[in-house]
Amino acid sequence: MVHNRVSGSELVFRIVLFVMCALIFLAIVYPLYFIIIASISDSTLVSTGKVLFMPKNISFFGYNQIFQDERIWNGYRNTVFYTFAGTLVNLLITLPAAYVLSRREFRARRIIMLLFVITMFFNGGLIPTYLLMKDLHLTNTALMFILPFCVNVFYLIIARTFFESSLPSELYEAAAIDGCSHFGFFIKIALPLSKALISVVGLYYLVGHWNDFFTGLIYIRDNKLQPLQIILRDILLSNQVFQNGAGSGGNAGGYAQKYADQIKYGVIIVSTLPILVLYPFLQKYFEKGVMIGSVKG
């Protein structure tokens, strides 16, 4: 029998590695756990540091206040629509553009790619961009979340590199012999072979749209068009006003203080819960995204 004995130095290394991994895990998980328990605990106990590992004086008042607000449901509907419609438009433009820029026979591809890359370092600034969107009659419309900025240059570079490295030129030559055009090759061959790329880029676009806060803040004035993130911000600001004692009656501030942190942490949970629920099912695509489009030796 062969006994695999672990040397003393190897044992020490494993122990240190285990401890470091455990500390990193706790540093990541505990803040999420604390937000959950703080959202259902007495705000006074949370603010005084008495809630650390277990919730105390459990109450769901914060969630009741959040979900009783009709703006929440309107914001959810808007965000879901903006997220899926925006992601669809992103993919419909990014993938064909990346495929064209990956074709070596397209002589202008280097110049066009250079123009794309320049936009990563230079832009017109907020005020000129706002004036442009206003002149295009996109401000204060749902299209503002979908049409402008529909191509992320970084994702375009990833997709272009993927098409260059994963679709050999011989594959297109064989298809061309059978009379297949570039459009047919892209639809019938390139896209079916690029499911991982589509999943990764689409997922990154989707998360970006879900978390989009800046667009609604700058370009939208109609409350009916605001996404969830802006609605939650407004609820949080309103709660802070009452927390400071504003409102009718002298007890308004004290009453709000009791549930202030519940509403604050509840807002965080409401805004991130859909992504947290989906993440275990989408984790493999995040892992693929690290390598997709990279230069392989």
Averaged pLDDT, 253-265: 60
Residue carrying the six token digits 């996404």: 227
Length of the chain: 297
Residue carrying the six token digits 């494993």: 14
pLDDT at residue number 241:
54
CA atoms of 274 and 136, how far apart (whole Å): 33
Q: Collapse the DSSP code of 50 into the 3-class scheme (helix H, G, I; strand E, B; otherwise coil) and give the result.
A: coil
Report CA-CA distances (Å) from 268 to 176, 177, 229, 257, 263: 53, 56, 10, 18, 9
Report CA-CA distances (Å) from 295 to 20, 81, 103, 158, 290: 31, 35, 17, 10, 12
pLDDT at residue number 93:
92
Question: Pick from 66, 108, 24: which is nearest to 266 by CA?
Answer: 66
CA atoms of 144 and 190, how far apart (whole Å): 31
Mean pLDDT over all residues of the chain?
79
Band (252; pLDDT cuts 50, 70, 90): very low
Distant-in-sequence, close-in-space partners of 265: CB < 8 Å, separation ≥ 6? 35, 36, 38, 39, 62
More reliable by pLDDT, 285 or 111: 111
User: 228 and 143 in contact (C-beta within 8 Å)?
Assistant: no
Q: Is the pLDDT of residue 3 over 50?
A: yes
pLDDT at residue number 255:
42
More reliable by pLDDT, 234 or 238: 234
The pLDDT tens digits for 188-216 are 888 888 888 888 888 889 888 888 888 88
pLDDT at residue number 20:
93
Highest mean pLDDT among 1-10, 76-85, 260-269, 287-296: 76-85
Question: Pick from 60, 9, 12, 11: which is nearest to 37 by CA?
Answer: 60
Averaged pLDDT, 116-136: 87
